Amino acid sequence: MTISEVRYGTGREALIRAVVDVVAEEGLDGLSYRKVAQRAGVNNTLISHHFGSKEALLEAATVWAVQRTQQLADLTLASALDHDFAETLTRVVGEEPNLQIFQYYMILASRRSPELRRIAGNLYESYIGMVQNVLVRYGHKPDRAAARAVFAALDGLVMQQVTVAERDEVLAAVVRLGELIDRR
């Protein structure tokens, strides 16, 4: 896509998608305005125009990645950690692994940066809240610690799928996690 092919109103999202891909492929150290603009097919002045700073760009990309993951998987509507949930989750991870890889980079980098720590904390709070809602719909009482524990298991399984495990292995593990939770 060339700069002239980008329609008005698509520059911001094109930049966010490009940030996710560049970070997923090259890490945060590989992130530059030039690479993002080139990947997005836009002029690099749009980055400053839309975001003002690298931190604001990363925050917008993190929010977008979480929303995109939730939108694609529609996990907010799940009522059980069952085969359908596992199928949807592993499909989304398989189709767009860069969404997850980007988020892992942000989380790991947050150890060194107070600003990134706030962003990563918001990322986790969003997912933990979503899992708590699923557990409540699943018949459990609201319990933030339980939601964090279940999310940690799911997060680890997603990490395995984007790195060392096959989709079917992760799918089976998510289904098994749901069975364990159902044994209340």
Q: What is the pLDDT of residues 67-117, one digit of tens each?
A: 888 888 777 677 788 999 999 999 999 999 999 999 999 999 999 988 889
Letter for the amino acid at 129?
A: G
Is a pLDDT exceeding 60 seen at residue 151?
yes
| Cα–Cα distances in angstroms (integers) from residue 92 to residues 18, 70, 95, 166, in the given order | 18, 9, 5, 14
40/142 Cα distance (integer angstroms): 42
How many other β-carbons are positioned within 10 Å of the β-carbon of residue 141? Answer: 8
Structure confidence at residue 10 as a pLDDT band (50, 70, 90): low
84/91 Cα distance (integer angstroms): 10
Q: CB–CB of 84/53 below 8 Å?
A: no
115/132 Cα distance (integer angstroms): 26
Letter for the amino acid at 108?
A: L
157/161 Cα distance (integer angstroms): 6
Q: CB–CB of 103/62 below 8 Å?
A: yes
Q: Please give the pLDDT value at position 77.
A: 74
* pLDDT > 90: percent of the chain: 66
Q: What is the mean pLDDT of the chain?
A: 89
44/129 Cα distance (integer angstroms): 36
DSSP annotation of 80:
S
Is a pLDDT exceeding 60 seen at residue 37?
yes
21/61 Cα distance (integer angstroms): 10
- Nearest Cα neighbor of 100 from 46, 33, 163 is 163
Torsion of CA 23, 27, 29, 31, to 10 degrees: -20
Q: Please give the pLDDT value at position 29.
A: 93
